Amino acid sequence: MAEVVIVENAAAAGALVATEIVELIESRPDAVLGLATGSTPLPVYLALRTQLAGHDVSQVRGFALDEYVGIDPAHPESYRSVITREVVEPLGLDPQRIHVPNGAAATIQHAGDDYEAAIAAAGGVDLQILGIGTDGHIGFNEPGSSFASQTRVKTLTEQTREDNARFFDSIDDVPRHCITQGLGTILKARHLVLLAFGEGKAQAVADAVEGPLTAFLPGSAIQLHPHATVVVDEAAASRL
Ligand code: GLP
């Protein structure tokens, strides 16, 4: 079973996971980080601003989990923009070393394979940060995703579009498709760190950690991983 760490609040979780990342970078200056978007990982990135200060991060590499399809990369809510704004710029990372799947139409046929090849060429992900959707999705692997899936284009569920509508002017502006690392891709990372906060995530967390292994709860894939850590607050842990 995944190791479950219950902390007081999101800030404490952020500090804990940031410490882990700093230790990784100290032991391996060209560490490969698996980056996630959504609100959940933000406390980690915030804590890293302080904890990474004074460290040489010029060699650090990173791969984001997912991206919307059919959105201008310059759109403020594209995951490319979010990763630039929340991670690359404040932490002073080299933008050339931080990758986000390419959701631009012209390359979409081979974007998944290209991304898999880039991760493999980097030697794989050392530490993958994960959030979880209310329906149990990780990355954008919605219920029904194969545990063996690789980076590919997917259709977003209405639930996820509604959940993410808060980042857009209206739900009509939320893209309908995405490109996401597969569950099989995510499981190849050497360490998974799944974070969740608040009552709204409690059921998804309980199902992911203790429920049956099922494609209908993509987060349950973490049970297949030999080194998965789940960092939650009391509310998100309340159904464990
Ligand atoms: C999006 C992202 C996921 C994220 C999820 C939860 O759908 N693609 O990677 O885990 O939302 O978002 P939040 O952390 O804002 O609750």
**55 has catalytic annotation:** no
Supply the pLDDT for residue 1: 76
For the chain, give the mean pLDDT: 96
Percent of the chain with pLDDT over 90: 93
38 lines ligand 1 (CB under 6 A): yes
Supply the pLDDT for residue 53: 96
Percent of the chain with pLDDT over 70: 100
3-state secondary structure of 68: strand
pLDDT digits (tens, 9 = 90+) for 1-17: 799 999 999 999 999 99
**3 has catalytic annotation:** no
* Beta-bridge mates of residue 3: 229
Instruction: Report the DSSP pairing between strands 191-196 and 228-233.
Output: parallel
Would you tell me how many other CB atoms lie within 10 Å of the CB of residue 72?
12
Q: Where are the domains of the chain?
A: 3-233
101 lines ligand 1 (CB under 6 A): no
Tell me how long the chain is.
Answer: 240
Supply the pLDDT for residue 173: 94
pLDDT digits (tens, 9 = 90+) for 170-201: 999 999 999 999 999 999 999 999 999 999 99
pLDDT digits (tens, 9 = 90+) for 107-142: 888 999 999 999 999 999 999 999 999 999 999 999
67, 137, 163, 225: the catalytic one is: 137
139 lines ligand 1 (CB under 6 A): yes
218 lines ligand 1 (CB under 6 A): no
Confidence bin at 104 (pLDDT 50/70/90): confident
Model-level ipTM above the cut of 0.85: yes
Q: Which residues contact 191 (CB under 8 A, 6 or more apart)?
A: 126, 127, 128, 227, 228, 229
CA of 140 relative to ligand 1 center, distance in Å = 8
Pocket test of ligand 1: the residue of 35, 44, 130, 132 to mutate, having most ligand atoms within 8 Å of its CB, is 132
The Cα 203–Cα 194 span in angstroms is: 14
The Cα 137–Cα 118 span in angstroms is: 24
Answer whether residue 61 shows pLDDT above 90: yes
Confidence bin at 36 (pLDDT 50/70/90): very high
**72 has catalytic annotation:** no
Cβ contact 107:65 at 8 Å: no
Starting at the earlier edge strand, list the strands of the sheet with 152-155. Answer: 66-69, 177-180, 152-155
**56 has catalytic annotation:** no
First and final CA of the chain: distance in angstroms?
12
Tokens of 205: 């967390």
* Beta-bridge mates of residue 229: 3, 193
With tokens 């799947």, the residue in question is 101
Answer whether residue 105 shows pLDDT above 80: no
Supply the pLDDT for residue 107: 81
Mean pLDDT of 34-47: 97
C-alpha triplet 140, 179, 129: angle, nearest 5°? 50
141 lines ligand 1 (CB under 6 A): no
The Cα 69–Cα 1 span in angstroms is: 34
pLDDT digits (tens, 9 = 90+) for 42-60: 999 999 999 999 999 999 9
Can you tell me which atom of ligand 1 is nearest the CA of 132?
10
Q: Which residues contact 145 (CB under 8 A, 6 or more apart)?
A: 137, 154, 182, 183, 215, 218
CATH fold for domain 3-233: Rossmann fold (3.40.50)
Confidence bin at 221 (pLDDT 50/70/90): very high
